Structure 1
Amino acid sequence: MATLSWGILSTANIGLAKVIPAMQKGKHCRIDAIASRDIATARKAADRLGVVRAYGSYEELLADPDIDAIYNPLPNHLHVPWTVKAAEAGKHVLCEKPIAMTAEEAETLIAVRDRTGVRIQEAFMVRTHPQWLKVRDLVAGGAVGELRAIQGFFSYFNDDPANIRNMADIGGGGMLDIGCYPVTTARFVTGAEPTRVTAMIDRDPSTGIDRLGSALMDFPGVQASFVYSTQALPHQRMRFVGTSGMVEVEIPFNAPPDRPCRVTVDRVGSVFGEEVETIELSTVDQYTVAGDAFSRAILEDTPQPVPLEDSILNMRVLDALFRSAESGVWEKP
């Protein structure tokens, strides 16, 4: 079976703990190298994960002629610069979300992609997870009647000022970290773009990051709302409510890799859940699925799961939400 040779740009924790081990289980991914700015750190990570080659600089990894694709989990402000460097080195790139700090910055990747001929994709693993494919099919198939409203919530607690998620100058904050998920999944399920958006944002007085946000997105015929917070009880849920039913995603974003995901369908308005249908999806690791899906698109020269143009549209919504929080009025993406 054809596989793609991958190199990992940095020893970021999300890569070491989640993405790399998951991609190593894939049918189309082969993790062959990892780089850090320190060779000892790179070698330690490589030994831990059974990766053959370790590099003491990102440049050395990009110069490796045997590497086909790069996974970029660097801090947000480095996503575009190092994605550009990787593409110009002839490597396909799977870049952690958000793809950029702003839509304008993300748009610069179009020219880079077209000039170099490589694939560039934002690593929104939810977009290839079976539970989200199922939700989209359920809504499209009439399980809720005519879709009218979408509700989302995503939160965790992290007030450590030394954590990169709490560093405003390098792209920290809740909207770019987790608020982006209700946006992309609402767009994915509706297959549409919001015509206008509005938001309220509360910023941490010590770090400046957005620690709490409430948003409303006006889709054609559908109102979508969500709340996110980086300083609240960990919780997540997404609901799609229509004229004759509701679909709820139990663990929409941090889908567990060790047990089935569950989607519930309520067609009667069952307050106590006695007539709710529960759909269990097969146990998968969403990072394995995402890595294989992108690799397969490259190997088979087929459309990638999340086009770069889609990521730019998502960034435009996030930009508009930030603008609305400042202006106090509806903004158009």
Structure 2
Amino acid sequence: MSALRIGVAGCADIALRRMLPAFEASPHTVVTAIASRTADKARAAADTFGCAAVVGYDALLERSDVDAVYVPLPVALHARWTERALRAGKHVLAEKPLTARADDTVRLLGLAREHGVVLAENYLFVHHSAYTSVRDLVAQGAVGEVRALHASFTIPPRPADDIRYRADLDGGALLDIGVYPVRLASLLLGPELRVHGAVLRHDTARGVDLGGSALLGDPATGASAQLVFGMEHGYTAGWRLLGSEGSLALDRAYSPPAGHRPVLRIERAGGAEERVLPAHDQAATAVAAFAESVRHRRTGGAADAGDAGDAAAVVRQARLVDEIRRTAHLVKV
């Protein structure tokens, strides 16, 4: 089938740095247009990637040479522009989180089914081959029965004008950073996790959370996840999975460069080893998965087929994040 024609709604850093190069390099996709609210930004990005510059996102959705739209806008704008794209008959790949609220996520997934198009949420790390290796080891009993996950994702403070500090754009650490370890917990511990407690450090002046922690658990197995996230910390991006007979640990766990070779540490009673895993371009794999979901839909398959459009996982994630926010103890700072 012909390559999927991509229109990009916005010139965010993640789009310019990771996703546009991945779309451009993929044999499955071709970027036909990049839109911005300003002509200069649209033209600069379009010139770099050899495509059309479009002023305004509505104009992008009207183009007949766009099959699918990539949405890397601030979180508060995801629901609005994803809905417009779906109603225009476009497939959508939206940056994480798909929306800021579970009700909106459920509604948009229903709208995608109604219009027969694919809607996917762009968590790149779930496509990294390191996680295939990790899940294979767990399934083989390398650490015995899984008991607990300790995971963190923290970054230093951002510049004062960073959009993460804007409540009107649904900024804050939970939606920007905390969603990663939450998604990781479901990936490694399974789909039955519940929220058992949370704390958020709330910046009262700016109206956003700066960091926090959450405790998740599977009520059937007792496996738990202790998660830490924030943007007023030293940098961390790792996890340790504890089992009855050993543990697995990985650093640079969420956004490694394409050439990075992950080092998986395996500890058991007989000793420890560090296994160097192959480098993997998770952005390229995410693009391929999205294109495959669209191909499957075009040939008569379900609109939510494949990892790129796993609607059940997207809804579970949204509900866990909602529950963390709803039940968290707020520490005002």
Judge same fold: TM > 0.5, yes or no: yes
Which stretch shows the higher mean deviation, 221-230 or 129-138? 129-138
The alignment partner of 1:226 has SS state of strand
Partners of 1:233 and 1:253 in 2: how far apart? 16
Structure 1 residue aligned with 2:68: 69
Q: Does 1:281 align with 2:277?
A: yes
Point out where structure 1 has 5 or more consecutive residues left out of the alignment: 270-274, 329-333
Structure 2 residue aligned with 1:88: 87
Note if contact 2:12-2:72 (Cα within 8 Å) is conserved in structure 1. yes
Structure 1 residue aligned with 2:121: 122
User: Does the C-alpha gap of structure 1 residues 191 and 2 become closer, same or farther in structure 2, counting only changes over 3 Å?
Assistant: farther
Q: Residue type of the partner of 1:208?
A: G
User: Does the C-alpha gap of structure 1 residues 16 and 327 become closer, same or farther in structure 2, counting only changes over 3 Å?
Assistant: closer
Shift of 1:39: 2.0
User: Does the C-alpha gap of structure 1 residues 32 and 250 become closer, same or farther in structure 2, counting only changes over 3 Å?
Assistant: same
Shift of 1:138: 1.6
Shift of 1:139: 1.5
Shift of 1:132: 1.6
User: Does the C-alpha gap of structure 1 residues 44 and 281 become closer, same or farther in structure 2, counting only changes over 3 Å?
Assistant: same
Shift of 1:180: 0.8
Shift of 1:285: 2.1
Q: Residue type of the partner of 2:248?
A: V
2:322 pairs with 319, 323, 331, which one? 319
Note if contact 1:70-1:86 (Cα within 8 Å) is conserved in structure 2. yes
Partners of 1:181 and 1:211 in 2: how far apart? 15
The alignment partner of 2:25 has SS state of coil
After superposition, residues 1-12 of structure 1 pair within 5 angstroms as 2-12=2-12
**TM-score normalised by structure 1 residue count:** 0.92
Structure 1 residue aligned with 2:97: 98
Note if contact 2:199-2:330 (Cα within 8 Å) is conserved in structure 1. no
Structure 1 residue aligned with 2:39: 39
Percent same amino acid at aligned positions? 34
**TM-score normalised by structure 2 residue count:** 0.92
The alignment partner of 1:24 has SS state of helix
Partners of 1:241 and 1:257 in 2: how far apart? 27
Structure 2 residue aligned with 1:272: none
Q: CA RMSD in A?
A: 1.8
String of CA shifts for 1:99-149, please: whole Å, max 9, x gaps. Answer: 111111111113211221100011011121111222122212211100001
Note if contact 1:251-1:262 (Cα within 8 Å) is conserved in structure 2. no
Q: Residue type of the partner of 1:175?
A: L
Partners of 2:224 and 2:329 in 1: how far apart? 21
Q: Does 1:28 align with 2:28?
A: yes
Note if contact 2:195-2:324 (Cα within 8 Å) is conserved in structure 1. no
1:304 pairs with 303, 306, 326, which one? 306
The alignment partner of 2:280 has SS state of coil
The alignment partner of 1:74 has SS state of coil
Partners of 1:282 and 1:296 in 2: how far apart? 23
Structure 2 residue aligned with 1:257: 258
Note if contact 1:24-1:30 (Cα within 8 Å) is conserved in structure 2. yes
Structure 2 residue aligned with 1:19: 19
